Structure 1
Amino acid sequence: MAEGAPIIYLDPATVAEARRRGDDPRKLEECTKYVMTHIYLSLPGPPVPIAAARTRAAAAAAASDGVDRISALPDAILRDIVSRLPVKDAARTAALSRRWRPVWRSTPLVLVDAHLLPRGRSFGVSVSAPTRADTPGIVAAVSRVLAAHPGPFRCVHLLCGFMGSYQAQLEHWLRFLAAKGVDDLILVNRPWPLEAPLPAAILRISTLTRLYIGMWKFPDIAGLPTNTAFPNLRELGINAVAMEKESREVEFIVARSPVLETLNIQGGNTQVLRLRLEHRSLRCVQICSCSVENLAVVDAPCLERLVLYDSLSKDDSCVRVKIVHAPRLCLLGNLETGFHMLEIHDTFVSAGIRSSPSALFTSVKILGLNVNFGVRHDAQMLPNFLKSFPNAESLHIVCAKCTEATSLVSPNFWDDAGPIESIVSHVNVLTIREFKGEANATSFLKYFVQNAQMVKNVSVVLANPQFTSYSIDTLWIAKILKSVRWASKISSMQVYRSDDREGGLIWSFQRGSDYSIRDPFVY
């Protein structure tokens, strides 16, 4: 962060404490900005983007010939028009004429606090982003709208306020929404201080179909009524939310959401995650940048997508991933061969041990793996992981960062590992990202193209040289691939150089849960 740049996220007390300890508060500010950026990128966008709304309003004004044709439209169409306006513009329609006065109050509104920011401020993480000085005005405006409108609300997105000092107002808002009804709620706090408590009133909003929360401390679930339920909730996002040690809060909501389809969890200031999934309607589960200890998919008959991206461990221990019953699972990633302890149908996947029929998962068609090719054990685990998913058609491998290389596997290792059914007979797309030209990775790539009879497209994405000591020429890797005999006669090959940071871009929850995108791992 540039010297003299404004500190937005840290409160004065945190800045003073950092300086008292001899720390640079700007480093903490930069770290917080990084976390908040990823939270914002993971959130669904508002149904009424500011720029688009202003453009439509300007176009309508320019096209006006002075004749009021809109007021003659039926009430249902007028309400639909008002529901698509920013809340300030929606409220102003009541002043147009007597015809419009009841429309605003009878329309499920879109309330996005970014629409309430002063001119010159914008939602985001730039210098013009909301500051603490903007929060009182935002709080007052949101309070007026919630008090004046009888509800229900089409959606409420509150992301711009530093709410740590406005707990009473937040409690009132959530009580209003529980009483008046809201379908889509996104509530993100702008720290500091961290772990501002989220009022338990949020767990009493039974009308929700989508809920995202970020940068809060989860409310205590011990004293909640046993009949707490979310009968309409279909999408749940939990972003950098502090929870109890056992992470029981996630299972609490999931168990009380009978039609839930999408569960997204993003780390930040969460404790170690332990999650046991037994749910009849879940289709997509995505866990990103979390410290995970144990994930067990016990009974998820509708689960189609399971994504573990950038798994963390506080004590460098392996993460146990157990899949018992998920017959529709077709997309799985990004399993890390040296970090995830994979258990399928009560059978562990282990290096050097022949895969048994009980350790096969035949429904998976799209497979993502992280492999540290510089570590002998991690590379040796790759064949066993691949053999566990014999029908995989798309294979996406990320070459993990290697901090301490070990000995290489033998040149014949891949052949000695025995036939890999997915590579020989099914994989038609291969991408290898963050490729650094390591010997183990290069020998695997050669083995793949020499044995993959169905492959149609091979893409190699070289690591950005700004973030690695490796320097590989695209022509060099293209020459290697052309020097071996390909098993497939109809294939295309692309070699790119990445412009992204090390490890690539952060995983997109929205892309991962978009079922119109068959393969969200495609580079």
Structure 2
Amino acid sequence: SAIPLLRHHHHQAMDARRRSPKKRKFERVPDQDSPPGSGSAGVDLINALPDAVLCTIVSLLPTKDGARTQAIARRWRPLWRSAPLNLVADSTLSRQQRKRVVYVTKILAEHPGPALRLNLPYIRRRDYGKIDGWLRSQALTDLQELHLGYDSQDSPPPSLLSPSALRFAPTLRVATFTDCHFPDLSAQSLNFSHLQQLGLYGVTFSALSAHYLNFPRLKQLTMSVVTILEDALHNMLSGCLSLESLLLEDNVGFARLRISSLTLRSIGFSAPYTQGPSLFHELVIEDAPCLERLLPLSPDYGPTIVRVIRAPKLQVLGVLSKGISKLHIGTTVFQEMTAISLTTTMRTVKVLVIESFGPNLDAVIGFLKCFPCLERLYVLSQPWMEMKNVQKYDPLDPIECLESYLKRVVWKNYIGDMLDVEFAKFFVLNAKVLEEMKFVSSNSCDRQWKSNQHMCLQVDSRASPDARLEFISCMDVLGDDKRTHDLSMADPFE
């Protein structure tokens, strides 16, 4: 890595200065024809790099380290000013807020630009007068990445986002705005022509500000604790012509959201914990020909109604729970996890995550029939004393996924009591191509306990001779943003 070598050069230079007060003549780089590892002592691989490469390295360093490279040697002095500015004003720049303000002002005055990144994560009200001047600095020419975070502890929030921040709309690739009010645009369209990732946290939009925003190349959008009206949200999303992943968490101002997108591949969503008439309670997937993931993040809090009208490529679905009082898959309807009608099947779904109270085998079987090509099933078990699982597998009425597709079952919160055993045994004895069944338990999972579980589950009589049963005691958490936005994973719950 180049970064440790840079730090080594910096420390060598500082040591040399302490040893001798005299200025040292710049030493020529040794003969570069000697390959690395040839035994030539003192070969300076870093200084052998072209200036353009060194500038790239400097622009990727933390702000303080990047500025300090000027002390390495005479050749390095102009590089920091030539490298695209990477200015991150967090605790790595200084632990004191007032010093960070001084440093930001000084850096923007000394650096000629252009800029790679500007990150101001904790803007205090007392510093608002400086923000506009900072954002208008010549050093921020062609800014590609902007993160502005206003301090939520200032009263009264939210603070108005400095209009100067909008001047970067033509060049930004990545942007994040936190705890602020988006300014009105006075009926003037604002085109973020190159923006690909946008994060909005605690942001308030008026109808005017959202209506005139366009994000033609935006691929990833996160909206968390955002206040926005229903029409304004629909207008904003309609301007996202290339959107691939959308994460909606705990937003307010709209009760119903309709999704029609030719490009969306993943949607993660949740409603806020509080209740009210303008809170998110219904999601309708009207037409999403590329949608692969539909991820209710906190279904116990809503939305209570989810309708999937057209999503011909849907592969991953869940977490589903009783919190979704009505789930429509085409013309098939589930009411509080129970199949009311099974008139539509969706053969594209490969991964299903459900929260099962009891656990409730009857409810799960309804989903297995709705998704006949299911390959992976995740069960989040919740104890329910009244539940009785007496359903038996009928060979004359086979379940297609148990016969030909289901390869992996993961059970979280497995206790190992009689209710759990009867539920799990259904899959052990009937899933004919099962490869792995994993039980995640809060128990110690010692050898004796595992041996008893194998006996109760009748492992010797398993339908798939190659099926492996694994009992583990752990807690694994995958963040909601990663599940929604990381499209490289075929199974985001793995």
SS at match of 2:358: coil
Residue of structure 2 in register with 1:399 after alignment: 381
- Deviation of 1:456 (Å): 0.5
- Deviation of 1:277 (Å): 2.4
The one-letter code matched in structure 1 to 2:467 is: S
CA distance in 1, matches of 2:136, 2:395: 64
- The match for 1:91 among 62, 67, 79 is 67
- Deviation of 1:521 (Å): 0.9
- Deviation of 1:335 (Å): 1.9
The one-letter code matched in structure 2 to 1:427 is: L
CA distance in 2, matches of 1:513, 1:397: 23
Counterpart mapping for 1:77-476 below 5 A? 77-94=53-70, 100=76, 103-114=79-90, 116-118=92-94, 134-159=96-121, 161=122, 163-174=124-135, 180-193=141-154, 195-199=157-161, 201=163, 202=165, 205-206=168-169, 207-214=171-178, 216-219=179-182, 223=185, 225-241=187-203, 242-244=225-227, 246=229, 251-267=234-250, 274-287=256-269, 290-291=272-273, 292-313=280-301, 319-339=304-324, 341-345=326-330, 347-350=332-335, 351-357=338-344, 360-373=345-358, 380-400=362-382, 405=384, 407-412=386-391, 419-437=398-416, 439-463=418-442, 473-476=449-452
- Deviation of 1:489 (Å): 1.4
CA distance in 1, matches of 2:428, 2:480: 30
Q: Say whether the 8 Å CA contact 1:450–1:485 is kept in structure 2.
A: yes
SS at match of 2:312: coil
CA distance in 1, matches of 2:123, 2:492: 34
CA distance in 1, matches of 2:317, 2:393: 23
- Deviation of 1:150 (Å): 4.5
SS at match of 1:166: helix
TM-score normalized by structure 1?
A: 0.70
Q: Say whether the 8 Å CA contact 2:300–2:324 is kept in structure 1.
A: no
Residue of structure 1 in register with 2:208 after alignment: none
Cα 1:257–1:354 shift into 2, 3 Å: closer
CA distance in 2, matches of 1:385, 1:353: 11
Q: Deviations over 1:313-368 (max 9, x none)?
A: 2xxx76222223333332222222453522223543342434113xx222222222
Q: Say whether the 8 Å CA contact 2:415–2:442 is kept in structure 1.
A: yes
Q: Deviations over 1:112-148 (max 9, x none)?
A: 2236443xx5xxxxxxxxxxxx222223333443454
Residue of structure 2 in register with 1:28 after alignment: none
SS at match of 2:61: coil
CA distance in 2, matches of 1:368, 1:187: 36
Cα 1:475–1:492 shift into 2, 3 Å: same
CA distance in 2, matches of 1:426, 1:62: 60
* Structure having greater relative contact order (Cα 8 Å, sep ≥ 6): 1
- Deviation of 1:370 (Å): 1.9
- Point out where structure 2 has 5 or more consecutive residues left out of the alignment: 17-26, 30-43, 204-224, 274-279
Counterpart mapping for 1:52-71 below 5 A? 55-61=4-10, 68=29, 70=46
Cα 1:352–1:61 shift into 2, 3 Å: closer
CA distance in 2, matches of 1:435, 1:271: 39
Cα 1:452–1:212 shift into 2, 3 Å: farther
TM-score normalized by structure 2?
A: 0.73
CA distance in 1, matches of 2:104, 2:93: 11
Residue of structure 1 in register with 2:40 after alignment: none
- Deviation of 1:493 (Å): 1.1
Counterpart mapping for 1:438-517 below 5 A? 439-463=418-442, 473-483=449-459, 485-498=461-474, 500=475, 505=477, 507-510=479-482, 512-517=484-489
- Deviation of 1:247 (Å): 5.7
CA distance in 2, matches of 1:148, 1:63: 26
Number of matched residues? 432
Cα 1:265–1:410 shift into 2, 3 Å: closer
The one-letter code matched in structure 1 to 2:415 is: K
- Deviation of 1:495 (Å): 0.5
The one-letter code matched in structure 2 to 1:299 is: D
The one-letter code matched in structure 2 to 1:231 is: S
CA distance in 2, matches of 1:156, 1:372: 48
**More displaced, 235-244 or 63-72?**
63-72
Cα 1:78–1:449 shift into 2, 3 Å: same
CA RMSD across the alignment: 3.8
The one-letter code matched in structure 2 to 1:356 is: T
Q: Deviations over 1:168-227 (max 9, x none)?
A: 44455555599733333334445424743351635554233333344x144255x45452
Cα 1:189–1:477 shift into 2, 3 Å: farther
Q: Say whether the 8 Å CA contact 1:184–1:211 is kept in structure 2.
A: yes
SS at match of 1:353: strand
- Deviation of 1:490 (Å): 1.0
The one-letter code matched in structure 2 to 1:509 is: D
- Deviation of 1:283 (Å): 2.7
Residue of structure 2 in register with 1:22 after alignment: none
**More displaced, 362-371 or 410-419?**
410-419
- Deviation of 1:519 (Å): 2.0
Residue of structure 1 in register with 2:206 after alignment: none
Q: Say whether the 8 Å CA contact 1:155–1:182 is kept in structure 2.
A: yes
Cα 1:182–1:256 shift into 2, 3 Å: farther
Cα 1:165–1:409 shift into 2, 3 Å: farther
Identity of aligned residues (%): 28
Cα 1:98–1:365 shift into 2, 3 Å: same
Q: Say whether the 8 Å CA contact 1:79–1:104 is kept in structure 2.
A: yes
Q: Say whether the 8 Å CA contact 2:381–2:412 is kept in structure 1.
A: yes
Cα 1:193–1:72 shift into 2, 3 Å: same
- Point out where structure 1 has 5 or more consecutive residues left out of the alignment: 1-51, 122-133, 466-471
